[in-house]
């Protein structure tokens, strides 16, 4: 008999850790190659992880709710009857993986060609470095208090978390494999000791600490990066959406039920039309090369609130779709996002984001740019308001639209021109939609 330790695999898209949502097996169970053994949650999606060998489960390296780093032990299986001259099931699995077959983590291909797939226009890198052929060595269990705290920490995230909260790693009790200090260990230490913030705040028994992890942490990190890296500005204007609502009603009257167009789809279509006139905003800034990259296609991100938190699924090459096709893709994408079934590669690669925060019953906002994009367009709620039409006061359907933009890619004239054009499209949609 021999033990096989399956490490948490590289989940792609730069992800370095995952939280265990649900174990599909328990100690003592028999597993087969490609059987899903655990569901984990990354910063971008939930992922079912298959095991690359068979045998009997002897250890699960983490409880549900625990966060594991990539390339640390996930599950240990005892295997029997393997001939030394016959490749192990694990080795065969890896060969199949390199050949492009076998079970696949949700949202990821398996072949080298997939990993080295062509990036979209404007990608920061033109080549993908070859994957490492070796796994990191798992530290041996600690037997001496003289061992330095640095040898017990694998993840720079854990080290940073400890530093930010003034936690002495030498005082942290490790629970990870081989005596490694895990993120949960540091969080436990934080909960039991005042950090730089709580040292100045009197905490009571009614206060609660909520771990910043998973999707919430990924969103926080990205928004912080946006505020830190992008010199943004925001402009807004009120527009009359009465004709837009009437246009949608007229269009849908002539379409089959499965072709019905949502208001979001019409707003997305008008957004694309305005971007075609102001391509400066469908862009990003490459600071390393001191260049502004204007994208040839619009990969439209749609900010969506889900039970897991805020996500921005991307409709790739949205400018190449008809209005009906765009509506269908948005409908399908929204359902997948709310169910947490979007693969991570559908949550990256956007070039411009549309945020319909009006669904929350608010009029306006200064939306934070979805880094590394250059702009985000926001739509407030549509409500009845007094409005002047041809010199007469009347009641119309009014909404406020706003644009946050990277001041490095354009000045206020371009941003204002785009927002005013988009507003004109909302007020006179039929002429625009007829050309699309």
Rg (CA), the chain: 26
Q: Which of 90, 143, 299, 407 is catalytic?
A: 407
Q: How many angstroms separate the CA atoms of 53 and 30, rounded?
A: 11
Other beta carbons within 10 angstroms of residue 350's beta carbon come to 26
Q: How many angstroms separate the CA atoms of 188 and 137, rounded?
A: 26
Answer yes or no: 407 catalytic.
Answer: yes
Nearest to 183 by CA among 70, 74, 20, 69: 69
Show the domains of the chain with their CATH numbers: 2-115 (2.40.50.100), 149-200 (4.10.320), 216-433 (3.30.559.10)
Give 10-residue mean pLDDT values along the chain (436 residues): 85 76 93 89 79 91 91 89 46 41 34 37 38 35 37 61 81 71 80 57 75 80 89 96 95 90 96 97 94 96 87 94 94 88 87 95 93 96 96 97 96 96 96 72
Q: Would you call 270 helix, strand, or coil by DSSP?
A: helix
Query: Looking at residue 420, what is its pLDDT?
Result: 97
Q: How many angstroms separate the CA atoms of 433 and 436, rounded?
A: 5
What are the structure tokens assigned to 108, written together?
A: 């990821």
- Expressed in angstroms, the distance from the first to the final Cα of the chain is 66
Q: Would you call 230 helix, strand, or coil by DSSP?
A: coil
Q: How many angstroms separate the CA atoms of 196 and 213, rounded?
A: 20
Query: Looking at residue 296, what is its pLDDT?
Result: 96
Write the secondary structure of 414-425 as one string of H (helix), E (strand) and C (coil).
HHHHHHHHHHHH
Nearest to 13 by CA among 314, 320, 344: 344
Q: How many angstroms separate the CA atoms of 14 and 344, rounded?
A: 10
Q: How many angstroms separate the CA atoms of 285 and 374, rounded?
A: 7
């Amino acid at each position: 008999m021999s033990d096989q330790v399956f490490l948490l695999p590289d989940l792609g898209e730069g992800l370095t850790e995952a939280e265990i949502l649900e174990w599909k097996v328990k100690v003592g169970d028999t597993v087969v190659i490609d059987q899903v053994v655990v569901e984990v949650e990354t910063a971008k999606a939930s992922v079912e992880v298959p095991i690359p060998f068979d045998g009997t489960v002897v250890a699960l390296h983490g409880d549900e709710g625990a966060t594991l780093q990539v390339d640390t032990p996930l599950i240990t299986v005892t295997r029997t009857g393997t001939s030394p001259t016959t490749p192990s099931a694990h080795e065969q699995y890896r060969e199949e993986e390199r050949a492009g077959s076998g079970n696949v983590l949700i949202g990821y291909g398996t072949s080298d060609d997939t990993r080295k797939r062509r990036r979209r226009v404007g990608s920061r890198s033109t080549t993908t470095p070859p994957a490492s052929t070796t796994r990191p060595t798992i530290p041996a269990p600690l037997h001496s208090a003289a061992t330095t705290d640095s040898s017990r920490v694998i993840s720079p995230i854990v080290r940073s978390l400890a530093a930010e909260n003034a936690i002495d790693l030498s005082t942290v009790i490790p629970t990870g494999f081989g005596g490694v200090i895990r993120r949960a260990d540091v969080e436990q230490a934080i909960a039991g000791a005042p950090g730089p913030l709580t040292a100045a705040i009197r905490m009571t028994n009614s206060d609660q600490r909520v771990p910043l992890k998973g999707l919430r942490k990924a969103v926080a990190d990205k928004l912080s990066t946006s505020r830190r890296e992008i010199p943004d500005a925001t402009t807004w204007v009120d527009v009359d959406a009465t004709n837009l609502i009437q246009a949608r009603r007229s269009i849908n009257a002539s379409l089959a039920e499965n072709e019905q167009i949502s208001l979001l789809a019409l707003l997305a279509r008008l957004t694309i039309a305005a971007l075609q006139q102001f391509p400066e905003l469908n862009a990003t800034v490459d600071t390393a090369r001191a260049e502004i990259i204007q994208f040839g296609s619009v990969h439209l991100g749609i900010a969506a609130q889900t039970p897991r938190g805020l996500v921005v699924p991307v409709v790739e090459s949205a400018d190449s779709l008809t209005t009906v096709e765009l509506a269908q893709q948005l409908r399908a994408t929204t359902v997948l996002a709310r169910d947490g079934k979007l693969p991570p590669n559908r949550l990256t690669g956007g070039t411009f984001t549309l945020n319909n925060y009006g669904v929350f019953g608010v009029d306006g906002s200064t939306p934070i740019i979805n880094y590394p994009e250059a702009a985000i367009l926001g739509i407030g709620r549509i409500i009845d308001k007094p409005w002047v039409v041809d010199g007469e006061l009347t009641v119309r359907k009014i909404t406020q639209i706003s644009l946050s933009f990277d001041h490095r890619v354009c000045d206020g004239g371009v941003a204002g021109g785009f927002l005013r054009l988009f507003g004109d499209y909302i007020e006179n949609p039929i002429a625009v939609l007829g050309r699309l």
